[in-house]
Amino acid sequence: MPLQITQDNFEKEVLQAEGPVLVDFWAPWCGPCRMFGPVIEEAAAEVEGLTVGKVNVDEEGPLAERYGIMSIPTVILFLNGRDVKRETGAMSKEDLIGFIKT
């Protein structure tokens, strides 16, 4: 189950996390985001050691702004507190797992 990421817990759950953290920037009104949500959950279950968090851009605008989120869904992979890569738009589970592992 993905973590609800907010400005209050971002530092602890993402930047200080051990291991990779995939953060999904999304909004409830976004159709592609709603379709992509289950894909993220399935991929998370298959990738060992991966933490997944979700940032609602409507509720956490400053976080979205901090990471330059211009369109959603956008996923960012963090390693050791660093934003190492990102992808915008929904993708298949296979593509998402490839994105995480490469």
Asked if the peptide bond before residue 73 counts as cis, ω within 30 degrees of 0, the response is yes
Beta-carbon contacts of residue 86 (< 8 Å; ≥ 6 apart):
74, 75, 76, 77
Residues annotated catalytic, as ranges? 30, 33
